[in-house]
């Protein structure tokens, strides 16, 4: 029951033609009910700012990841995230989201901690609306948050949700993890830097992600990496393994303006880590350091 429910959500999140859905359900039928217990092991992340999750009564259906201590002068950009399976459990991807946050990024995942039920892409929009409303302001709890630097991302079913926000004018970069639309031309409208992190030909979303990478306009900076580990990535490894490294660098670059992190994609770093990569127009990614502490 639970399983078919998440597939239904997958379907409604996509703009797929009804005719394609039976095949898509089969296609994504290996999509998990991930081994969530493993993903819950955490260390606070490997970055300079030990991070954890929290909640806020003004955003009750989400989970917020932040450094435990935000040093004076540190500005934080934001990533909003749709979980795999479109599960409304904001701690189901705890390892990678903590890892990302430990590098100076606020993460907002759909769903409360250990929450139940399913998400929709509207919850990503709700998170963005909340950031725009809550960020900044002298002395406010979220004074360090920079609402002009927001990325949308998601894994599997959550990646399909992220597609719906990829053209939101407030979003400056897009991360698609083990995902791609079921069908349709949505990616042909993407203009913001879009990065695909796929699990190779054994990933149930491989064909969809590969197809969409090709659909993205030639002028849009885009990168695609395949690590041959399948649909569950390396999320169960400490600090989310090589998916943790790559997704973090994508955000350090596009959100924090850290060009050293960008070298991972422009240079040989990702390839050296085992990613099979393709890219277009990465030279057109224009970033400026988010604050005095980001010098690359």
Ligand X SMILES: *[C@@H]1O[C@H](CO)[C@@H](O)[C@H](O)[C@H]1NC(C)=O
Residues of this chain that interact with ligand X (CB under 6 A) are 42, 44, 52, 249, 252, 258, 260-261, 293-296
Q: Which is nearer to ligand X, 6 or 102 (CB)?
A: 102
Joined together, the tokens standing for residue 113 give 């901690």
| Alpha helices (H) in the chain, listed in sequence order | 2-13, 18-27, 36-39, 94-101, 121-134, 157-163, 206-215, 241-254, 259-266, 269-272
Q: Which is nearer to ligand X, 122 or 141 (CB)?
A: 141
CB 261 to ligand X: min, Å = 4
CB 50 to ligand X: min, Å = 7
Q: Which is nearer to ligand X, 112 or 258 (CB)?
A: 258
CB 113 to ligand X: min, Å = 7
Distance in angstroms (rounded) separating the CA atoms of residues 288 and 233: 30
CB 249 to ligand X: min, Å = 5
CB 161 to ligand X: min, Å = 25
Q: Which is nearer to ligand X, 255 or 261 (CB)?
A: 261
Joined together, the tokens standing for residue 196 give 């695909």
Q: Which is nearer to ligand X, 238 or 296 (CB)?
A: 296
Burial level of 272, CB count in 10 A (0-12/13-18/19+)? exposed
CB 71 to ligand X: min, Å = 12
Show the CA angle centred on residue 199, arms to residues 195 and 200, nearest 5°: 105
Distance in angstroms (rounded) separating the CA atoms of residues 1 and 226: 32
Q: Which is nearer to ligand X, 29 or 293 (CB)?
A: 293
Joined together, the tokens standing for residue 126 give 């709700």
CB 32 to ligand X: min, Å = 23
Distance in angstroms (rounded) separating the CA atoms of residues 80 and 67: 16
Joined together, the tokens standing for residue 176 give 């698609």
CB 152 to ligand X: min, Å = 21
**Pairing label, strands 76-82, 106-110:** parallel
Joined together, the tokens standing for residue 151 give 């990325």
Q: Which is nearer to ligand X, 260 or 271 (CB)?
A: 260
Backbone angles phi, psi at 49, to 5 degrees: -120, 100
**Pick from 161, 199, 143, 193: nearest CA to 80:** 161
Q: Which is nearer to ligand X, 189 or 293 (CB)?
A: 293
Adjacency order of strands within the sheet including 276-280: 51-54, 62-67, 106-110, 76-82, 145-155, 171-177, 194-198, 222-226, 276-280
């Amino acid at each position: 029951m639970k399983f078919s429910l998440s597939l239904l959500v997958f379907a409604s999140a996509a703009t797929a033609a009804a005719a394609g859905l039976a095949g898509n359900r089969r296609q994504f039928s290996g999509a998990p009910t991930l081994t969530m217990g493993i993903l819950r092991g955490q260390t606070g992340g490997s970055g300079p700012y030990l991070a954890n999750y929290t909640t806020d009564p003004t955003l009750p259906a989400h989970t917020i990841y932040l450094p435990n201590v935000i040093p004076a002068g540190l500005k934080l950009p934001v990533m909003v995230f749709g979980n795999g399976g479109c599960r409304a459990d904001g701690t189901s991807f705890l390892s990678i989201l903590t890892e990302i946050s430990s590098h100076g990024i606020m993460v907002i995942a759909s769903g409360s901690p250990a929450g139940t039920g399913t998400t929709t892409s509207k919850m990503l929009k709700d998170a963005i609306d909340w950031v725009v409303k809550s960020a900044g302001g002298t002395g406010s709890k979220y004074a360090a948050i920079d609402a002009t630097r927001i990325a949308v991302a998601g894994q599997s079913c959550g990646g399909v949700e992220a597609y719906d926000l990829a053209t939101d004018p407030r979003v400056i970069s897009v991360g698609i993890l083990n995902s791609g639309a079921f069908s349709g031309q949505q990616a042909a409208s993407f203009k913001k830097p879009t990065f695909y992190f796929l699990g190779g030909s054994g990933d149930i979303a491989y064909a969809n992600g590969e197809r969409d990478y090709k659909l993205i306009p030639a002028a849009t900076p885009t990168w695609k990496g395949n690590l041959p580990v399948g649909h569950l990535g390396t999320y169960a490894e400490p600090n989310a393994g090589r998916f943790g490294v790559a997704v973090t660098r994508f955000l350090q670059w596009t959100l924090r303006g850290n060009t050293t992190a960008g070298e991972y994609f422009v240079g040989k770093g990702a390839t050296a880590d085992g990613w099979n990569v393709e890219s277009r127009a990465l030279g057109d990614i224009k970033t400026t350091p988010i604050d005095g502490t980001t010098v690359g």
